[in-house]
Structure 1
Amino acid sequence: MSELATARTSAPAYQGAIGGLPPQSNLLSDRAVVTEAYTVIPRGVLRDIVTSVFPEWQGARAWVLNRPVSGGPTTFAQSIVEVAPGGGAKRPEPQAEVEGFVFVLSGALSVTVDGAEHVLTEGGFAFLPAGTDWSAANNGVEPTQFQWLRKRYAPLAGHAPRVVVGNERDIEPTPMPETDGAWRTTRMLDPEDLAFDMHVNVVTFDPGASIPFAETHVMEHGLYVLEGKAVYRLNDDWVEVEAGDYMALRAFCPQACYAGGPSRFRYLLYKDVNRQIAL
């Protein structure tokens, strides 16, 4: 059996929300925490009872992971959206000034942009600039789940972002310097293009790899763990995270991580980039 086939039989390549409710016999304890520097939402609390309904969508529900709040990240919203077969939205985005990024975790999502249909399967993504005419539908027979990132676009004179559609599996990851490829980044938006005011990457660590210093920077982060487990340094705390967990980091929250194994550790990463600080 190939390494890829083994991975697929042992765990999902892109962990989604689990839904349901825990049994009444469970103890009331989990890893959820909210601080002034960061928030951790473990997968065990992404249950049916905490879903939201977006009125633009039919046959769908959402787990909202981040929204701008005082003391937390303020530049973006992030959700897991689950769409039943036959469900979807003719006009998913209610705000013309807001851009979007969708990343499919399971199933298939048909995204139609300016009349052209794109079927996104696991690992598939679409960047949708503000004002784009797009729709989404689940034309399959199984539910689909996807990450949906939304950000109010900050225009830059002389630069206009374009629609980008692809699959992260088709992009060659970039090894981080001096890591022998044990820490690598799959960049789904061109990091050299100033038209983009956000980046969305898939970050991969082999077992034993680490971020060996406390990153402390102006970019906010949304980190959704796709696969594996690790210990993550957030401000003064070491936090255990696993596939399906989510972390929201405000600007300047110190961060580092260590991938303990036994398999690789991967997460979907949002950050705001390429703009001067507005005063």
Structure 2
Amino acid sequence: MALFKKNTSKTGRRHPLATVALVAVGLLVTGAAYTGFNQTSATAEVDWTKFSQDEKNLTAGEKLFGANCATCHGLNAEGTNDGPSLIGSGAASVNFQVGTGRMPLAFQGPQGMVKPKQFDEEQTLQLAAWVASLAPGPDLPDAKYLQGDSDIANGGVLFRINCAMCHNVAGAGGALTQGKWAPKLTGVPSTHIYEAMVTGPQNMPVFNDANITPEQKSDIISYLKYIEEQPAVGGLSLGSIGPVAEGLFIWVIGLGIIVALTVWVTAKSN
């Protein structure tokens, strides 16, 4: 009888989870690159003036509108009982609503929800070009205002004066009345932030260039991108709702846990 069993395991064999780990790393890198790409202007690589005047794009946009939007907005975007007129809403409004997945609506509710986009970038721009051809309206933003390298301090002041009452000073969003809400602004591409300011989607007021100049809008975008990149040095941000609310959370929840633990320990000892 052999005293020692021969080791038959193979050396240097790849771990069974190595392939899974490699795929996961690849997906993370690809996702990060895709997110970074989408933070810039959607029209940075498109000559919008030429694109929006191309008859082929206008025809394609009209067909897309008739197949996907006319049920609520009418064949000529004149509006119906189920949806408002889009005449004069401009390319910026369409690019924002369709580009964020809010439109077409999944269901009727207090406001449209962000969801996966139904159309690709070219189709979204074709829809925007056709609606913009119906009447003058807010146009797509110039790429120079979307770089995130403007005056952060001034952007912070403007944001706190005009936006923080709904979106929170850190852009974390917040609840409004009648089931509505102000969405969080972290992770939102600069293009859509600018478009929201000039079109006033849903519950948001319109900030035209007479209220907030394009340069000031650029400052606000720079501020939002700055605070988005700042780490939460204290740990969980708790929605960035401020020191008073966060302190109250610690006193109510933290002390509650301590009291409950004390009661449990005392009960066990008895």
Q: Does the alignment reach a TM-score above 0.5?
A: no
Report the structure number with the largest CA radius of gyration: 2
Instruction: Tell me which protein shows more helix as a share of its residues.
Output: 2
Instruction: Tell me which protein shows more strand as a share of its residues.
Output: 1
Q: Please report the TM-score for the alignment, with normalisation by the length of structure 2.
A: 0.24
Q: Please report the TM-score for the alignment, with normalisation by the length of structure 1.
A: 0.23
